[in-house]
Amino acid sequence: MHSTTKRAFARWASAVAAAAVLGPVSAWAQAQPPVKVGVVLSLSGPAAVFGLPERDAVNALHKEFGGMVGDRRMDLVFCDDKTNPTEAARCVTQLINDEKVVAILGPGTGGGILAAGPIADRLKVPLLGPAGTVAVTDKANNFHPWVFRVAINDMVGVETLLREAVKNGAKKIGVIYQEDAYGKFGSDHAQKLGKELGFTVAETLGAPYTATDLTPHVTKMRNAGVDAVFMQLSVSSLGASFLKAVNQVGLKVPLYGNSGLAQKSFIDAAGPLGEGVRVLSIGNLAYDPTPPEQRLVEILGKSGFKPQGWAEIVAANGYMAIAAALKKIQGPVTGQQMRDTIETLCGFETMSMGKACFSKDNRDGWGADALVVTTIRGGQFRSGAK
């Protein structure tokens, strides 16, 4: 072969080889491989008051973005944990083993996250939990590296609300809590904060989800001389039962509810008895949303949903965190990559108050700057003294 011909052939062969390499890369840039993401929420049972609006928010966001994260399709696979830790563990196992999801938003309750954590650790897929239960991100957990919180750690919430009570003059506080992980951890933390914040816990009482007559509880608090009550409750009907007993017994002291009660379902269940109750909230979608929250309100409205409380916010936190991680990963995605990438997220786009930030040491992505103390006035959670 003539030398000139050889050089031409070499250039042609080189161009073909380069095309073989660059062709797939170009195609890759146009469309990343699709992924599946699990969504495990309490769509039935007592915690459905949170799970259903959480589901609505996830579906509204997914519709708004056309099921796409950048140039990658994200498919959602839902499972109802039925407000049951055993079901939560089953859902997580099924979604990872059968559906091959690379991350899971949920389970919906603290108890469900604690039950599913060891499975996430064993199968190497991260959970993004929308619950405040203190223990879910405890570093003592073997599964700690695989659980992120997209709500507010309840230690922060409890302290914020009790500081508000003390600022308003409370010295002897009664604590009513629901008998689950959320309730017990919150109650215990309130006990620990007494000396630091300058109050005493005069009475601490637990109640099951289904309790309807809480007059004995309120009578004990009245007899203990409490000058305020802290409600570590998330079940709306239980909160309403407590307010009914307060009215019947004639206990006239300020009432402070943790963020679990910041749902429209609590206002509806409490009726006029809720007037004046102070409730901590993660943002305030229904009354005076911030600009990022207003965007979420508009997205919900496009899909025919009205804000119910903070549940939509924490669901959006989880969805946006997963999307932010996927945008940073090129090519096929694994649970390990998702875990490692979520650890690097800080200051990413959200639809909530406060700055979101995760790290290897910090699994609680949102802090006190995402909280607001509201007062129930005229059937609304009104921020501050409004």
pLDDT digits (tens, 9 = 90+) for 11-31: 444 444 434 433 343 333 458
The rounded distance, in Å, linking the Cα atoms of 32 and 51 is: 31
β pairing state of 255-257 and 228-232: parallel
Closest CA relative to residue 88, chosen from 154, 133, 56 = 133
Please tell me the predicted confidence (pLDDT) of residue 31.
80
pLDDT attached to residue 384: 63
Which residue ranges in the chain fall short of pLDDT 50? Answer: 1-29, 385-386
Query: Which single residue is written with the structure tokens 């062969």?
Result: 13
**CA–CA distance, 378 with 372 (Å, rounded to integer):** 18
Q: pLDDT (tens digit, 9 = 90+) per residue, 171-230?
A: 999 999 999 888 998 999 999 999 999 999 999 999 999 999 999 999 999 999 999 999
Alpha helical stretches, state H, 69-173: 85-97, 110-123, 154-167
Question: What is the structure's pLDDT at 21?
Answer: 37
Query: Helix, strand or coil for residue 176?
Result: strand
The predicted pLDDT at position 30 comes to 54
In degrees and rounded to multiples of 5, residue 292 shows phi and psi of: -60, -40
The verdict on domain 155-284+372-383 having CATH code 3.30.70.20 is: no
Is domain 32-152+289-367 given the CATH code 3.40.50.2300 in the classification?
Answer: yes
**Per this entry, what is the length of the chain?**
386
The two domains 32-152+289-367 and 155-284+372-383 share their CATH topology (first three levels equal)? yes
Residue 190 · residue 205 · CB < 8 Å: no
User: Which residues, 6 or more positions from 59, have their beta carbon under 8 angstroms from its beta carbon?
Assistant: 76, 303
- The amino acid present at 383, given as its one-letter code, is S
Give percent above pLDDT 90 in the chain.
Answer: 85
H-helix or E-strand spanning residue 143? none
User: Residue 370 pairs with which residues in a beta bridge?
Assistant: none
Cβ neighbours, 10 Å, residue 130: 28
The helix (run of H) or strand (run of E) holding residue 56 is: helix 48-64
Domain boundaries, the chain: 32-152+289-367, 155-284+372-383
Cα–Cα distance measured from residue 371 to residue 368, given in angstroms and rounded to the nearest whole number: 5
In 3D, which of 123, 145, 154 has the Cα closest to residue 342? 145
CA 198 to chain CA centroid, Å, is 30
